[in-house]
Amino acid sequence: MMQPIALTFVGRILTGAFLTLLLSPVLYSLLNTRREKKYDDPESLTNQLLEYDMRKLRHLDDQL
């Protein structure tokens, strides 16, 4: 029969392994998919501002 402290220790190791190796990647991929859709939209304000800044930087480089 296992001692209670050993059982707690093994349980925490298994729980940590499950959270780290299975749950974290699944949650990341679900949340990242939503973010990728948002940033892939060429009409989003973030992408429009980024494009504006890049054009402005190119214009400044051309002046030098």
pLDDT at 40 over 80: no
Mean pLDDT across the chain: 82
In percent, the amount of the chain with pLDDT more than 90 equals: 22
User: Can you give the residue ranges of every domain in the chain?
Assistant: 29-64
Q: How confident is the model at residue 61 (pLDDT cuts 50, 70, 90)?
A: confident
pLDDT at 16 over 90: yes
From residue 60, alpha-carbon distances to 16, 28, 48, 55, 64 in Å are 51, 38, 19, 9, 7
Helix/strand number for the chain, H first, E second: 3, 0
Quote the tokens at residue 3: 């001692």
Residues in the chain, how many?
Answer: 64
Residue 34 pLDDT more than 80?
no
Instruction: Please give the Cα distance from 5 to 24 (Å, whole number).
Output: 27
Rounded Cα distance between 59 and 64, Å, is 9
